[in-house]
Amino acid sequence: MKEFFANMDGTQQFYWYIAIGASVIFIIQTIMTFVGADADTGVDADFDGNLDGGDSPFQLFSLRNLINFLLGFGWAGVSLYTAIESNVLLAIVAFLVGVLFIAFFFFIMRALLKLSEDNSFKIEDTIGKTADVYLSIPAAKTGKGKVFISVKGSTHELSAITNSVDEIKNGSLVKVVGIEGDILIVTPLTL
Protein backbone atom coordinates (compact mmCIF):
# COMPACT_ATOMS: atom_id res chain seq x y z
CA MET A 1 0.00 0.00 0.00
CA LYS A 2 2.92 2.34 0.74
CA GLU A 3 4.25 1.82 -2.78
CA PHE A 4 0.87 2.89 -4.17
CA PHE A 5 1.02 6.23 -2.34
CA ALA A 6 4.80 6.72 -2.72
CA ASN A 7 4.54 7.67 -6.40
CA MET A 8 1.88 10.35 -5.78
CA ASP A 9 2.28 13.99 -4.87
CA GLY A 10 0.68 15.43 -1.73
CA THR A 11 -2.52 16.65 -3.41
CA GLN A 12 -3.27 13.30 -4.99
CA GLN A 13 -2.57 11.51 -1.68
CA PHE A 14 -4.92 13.96 0.08
CA TYR A 15 -7.82 13.06 -2.22
CA TRP A 16 -7.10 9.32 -1.95
CA TYR A 17 -7.01 9.41 1.87
CA ILE A 18 -10.31 11.29 1.98
CA ALA A 19 -11.94 8.97 -0.60
CA ILE A 20 -10.84 5.76 1.13
CA GLY A 21 -11.66 7.00 4.65
CA ALA A 22 -15.09 8.32 3.65
CA SER A 23 -15.85 5.12 1.72
CA VAL A 24 -15.03 2.90 4.70
CA ILE A 25 -17.20 4.99 7.04
CA PHE A 26 -19.99 5.14 4.43
CA ILE A 27 -19.99 1.34 4.10
CA ILE A 28 -20.10 0.95 7.90
CA GLN A 29 -22.98 3.46 8.12
CA THR A 30 -24.88 1.66 5.37
CA ILE A 31 -24.47 -1.73 7.04
CA MET A 32 -25.52 -0.28 10.40
CA THR A 33 -28.58 1.30 8.79
CA PHE A 34 -29.73 -2.01 7.31
CA VAL A 35 -29.18 -3.98 10.52
CA GLY A 36 -30.95 -1.35 12.60
CA ALA A 37 -27.99 0.12 14.46
CA ASP A 38 -28.21 3.55 12.82
CA ALA A 39 -27.82 6.24 15.47
CA ASP A 40 -27.36 9.37 13.39
CA THR A 41 -30.08 11.34 15.19
CA GLY A 42 -31.49 11.47 18.66
CA VAL A 43 -29.76 12.59 21.82
CA ASP A 44 -30.55 11.70 25.42
CA ALA A 45 -30.35 14.89 27.43
CA ASP A 46 -30.78 15.84 31.07
CA PHE A 47 -32.85 18.93 30.34
CA ASP A 48 -36.21 19.71 28.80
CA GLY A 49 -35.46 20.01 25.12
CA ASN A 50 -35.54 18.20 21.82
CA LEU A 51 -32.25 17.89 19.99
CA ASP A 52 -33.16 15.47 17.23
CA GLY A 53 -34.27 18.05 14.67
CA GLY A 54 -38.00 17.51 14.96
CA ASP A 55 -39.66 15.48 12.24
CA SER A 56 -37.00 16.38 9.72
CA PRO A 57 -34.93 13.40 8.55
CA PHE A 58 -32.48 15.72 6.86
CA GLN A 59 -30.13 17.79 8.96
CA LEU A 60 -27.61 19.89 7.05
CA PHE A 61 -24.84 19.46 9.61
CA SER A 62 -24.78 15.77 10.48
CA LEU A 63 -22.20 13.00 10.40
CA ARG A 64 -24.05 11.34 7.53
CA ASN A 65 -23.94 14.49 5.40
CA LEU A 66 -20.28 15.06 6.23
CA ILE A 67 -19.50 11.54 5.04
CA ASN A 68 -21.61 12.03 1.88
CA PHE A 69 -19.78 15.28 1.15
CA LEU A 70 -16.34 13.74 1.75
CA LEU A 71 -17.29 10.74 -0.40
CA GLY A 72 -18.13 12.98 -3.37
CA PHE A 73 -15.24 15.37 -2.69
CA GLY A 74 -12.63 12.62 -2.34
CA TRP A 75 -13.65 10.50 -5.30
CA ALA A 76 -14.11 13.54 -7.55
CA GLY A 77 -10.60 14.66 -6.59
CA VAL A 78 -9.17 11.19 -7.30
CA SER A 79 -11.06 10.82 -10.59
CA LEU A 80 -10.39 14.29 -11.96
CA TYR A 81 -6.80 14.72 -10.71
CA THR A 82 -5.24 13.92 -14.09
CA ALA A 83 -7.92 15.78 -16.09
CA ILE A 84 -7.75 19.10 -14.20
CA GLU A 85 -4.24 20.51 -13.86
CA SER A 86 -5.06 23.42 -11.55
CA ASN A 87 -5.27 22.32 -7.90
CA VAL A 88 -7.58 25.25 -7.10
CA LEU A 89 -9.98 24.38 -9.91
CA LEU A 90 -9.83 20.71 -8.90
CA ALA A 91 -10.71 21.63 -5.30
CA ILE A 92 -13.65 23.75 -6.49
CA VAL A 93 -14.99 20.98 -8.74
CA ALA A 94 -14.52 18.38 -5.98
CA PHE A 95 -16.33 20.69 -3.54
CA LEU A 96 -19.26 21.05 -5.95
CA VAL A 97 -19.44 17.28 -6.42
CA GLY A 98 -19.50 16.89 -2.62
CA VAL A 99 -22.42 19.33 -2.41
CA LEU A 100 -24.19 17.38 -5.18
CA PHE A 101 -23.76 14.19 -3.13
CA ILE A 102 -25.50 15.88 -0.19
CA ALA A 103 -28.34 17.07 -2.47
CA PHE A 104 -28.67 13.58 -3.98
CA PHE A 105 -28.92 12.05 -0.50
CA PHE A 106 -31.57 14.62 0.44
CA PHE A 107 -33.76 13.71 -2.54
CA ILE A 108 -33.32 9.97 -1.92
CA MET A 109 -34.32 10.38 1.75
CA ARG A 110 -37.35 12.47 0.79
CA ALA A 111 -38.49 9.78 -1.66
CA LEU A 112 -37.99 7.04 0.95
CA LEU A 113 -39.98 8.97 3.55
CA LYS A 114 -42.92 9.18 1.17
CA LEU A 115 -42.86 5.38 1.03
CA SER A 116 -42.89 5.10 4.81
CA GLU A 117 -46.15 7.05 5.21
CA ASP A 118 -48.49 5.43 7.75
CA ASN A 119 -51.43 4.04 5.81
CA SER A 120 -52.63 1.67 8.50
CA PHE A 121 -56.40 1.47 8.84
CA LYS A 122 -57.99 3.07 11.89
CA ILE A 123 -61.74 2.78 12.23
CA GLU A 124 -61.87 6.34 13.62
CA ASP A 125 -60.86 7.62 10.16
CA THR A 126 -64.26 6.53 8.80
CA ILE A 127 -66.26 9.15 10.73
CA GLY A 128 -67.73 11.71 8.35
CA LYS A 129 -67.07 9.59 5.25
CA THR A 130 -69.67 8.19 2.89
CA ALA A 131 -70.08 4.48 2.27
CA ASP A 132 -72.02 2.16 -0.05
CA VAL A 133 -74.43 -0.27 1.57
CA TYR A 134 -73.47 -3.80 0.57
CA LEU A 135 -75.88 -5.73 2.80
CA SER A 136 -79.12 -4.01 3.89
CA ILE A 137 -78.97 -2.37 7.33
CA PRO A 138 -82.03 -3.10 9.54
CA ALA A 139 -83.83 -0.10 11.09
CA ALA A 140 -83.37 1.18 14.66
CA LYS A 141 -80.27 -0.86 15.54
CA THR A 142 -82.21 -4.13 15.30
CA GLY A 143 -79.45 -5.80 13.30
CA LYS A 144 -76.24 -5.29 11.39
CA GLY A 145 -75.65 -4.69 7.72
CA LYS A 146 -72.45 -4.28 5.71
CA VAL A 147 -70.94 -1.28 3.95
CA PHE A 148 -68.01 -0.65 1.66
CA ILE A 149 -66.00 2.41 2.67
CA SER A 150 -62.82 3.88 1.21
CA VAL A 151 -60.19 5.15 3.68
CA LYS A 152 -56.72 6.35 2.61
CA GLY A 153 -57.11 4.82 -0.82
CA SER A 154 -58.18 1.32 0.25
CA THR A 155 -61.70 -0.09 0.43
CA HIS A 156 -62.92 -1.88 3.54
CA GLU A 157 -66.02 -3.97 4.21
CA LEU A 158 -67.34 -3.13 7.67
CA SER A 159 -70.41 -3.90 9.75
CA ALA A 160 -72.87 -1.05 10.19
CA ILE A 161 -76.01 -0.20 12.18
CA THR A 162 -78.38 2.74 11.95
CA ASN A 163 -80.66 4.76 14.23
CA SER A 164 -82.94 5.41 11.26
CA VAL A 165 -86.57 4.26 11.55
CA ASP A 166 -86.36 2.80 8.04
CA GLU A 167 -84.21 -0.03 6.75
CA ILE A 168 -81.36 1.15 4.52
CA LYS A 169 -81.44 -0.87 1.33
CA ASN A 170 -78.55 -2.45 -0.54
CA GLY A 171 -76.90 0.04 -2.94
CA SER A 172 -77.80 3.14 -0.87
CA LEU A 173 -75.28 5.77 0.16
CA VAL A 174 -74.78 6.40 3.88
CA LYS A 175 -72.69 8.72 6.01
CA VAL A 176 -70.74 7.45 9.03
CA VAL A 177 -71.79 9.45 12.12
CA GLY A 178 -70.25 7.35 14.88
CA ILE A 179 -68.64 4.11 15.99
CA GLU A 180 -69.84 1.52 18.49
CA GLY A 181 -67.04 -0.96 19.14
CA ASP A 182 -66.00 -2.09 15.65
CA ILE A 183 -69.40 -1.30 14.15
CA LEU A 184 -70.13 1.89 12.20
CA ILE A 185 -73.21 3.96 13.03
CA VAL A 186 -74.54 5.34 9.76
CA THR A 187 -77.31 7.59 8.57
CA PRO A 188 -78.85 7.51 5.08
CA LEU A 189 -77.78 10.20 2.64
CA THR A 190 -80.63 11.98 0.92
CA LEU A 191 -79.90 13.19 -2.57
C-alpha angle with apex 22: 55 to 37, nearest 5 degrees?
Answer: 45
Other Cβ atoms less than 10 A from the Cβ of 99: the count is: 14
Per-residue pLDDT tens for 115-132? Answer: 776 778 889 999 999 999
E strands within the chain? 130-135, 145-151, 154-162, 173-180, 183-188
| Structural domains in the chain, sorted by start | 1-118 (no CATH), 123-188 (2.40.50.140)
Per-residue pLDDT tens for 35-83? Answer: 876 554 544 444 444 444 444 555 667 888 999 999 999 999 999 999 9
**Separation CA 135–CA 148 (nearest Å):** 9
Q: What number of residues does the chain have?
A: 191
Per-residue pLDDT tens for 13-31? Answer: 999 999 999 999 999 988 9
In the chain, pLDDT over 90 holds for what percent of residues? 62
**Separation CA 181–CA 29 (nearest Å):** 46
Contact 107, 69 (CB under 8 A): no
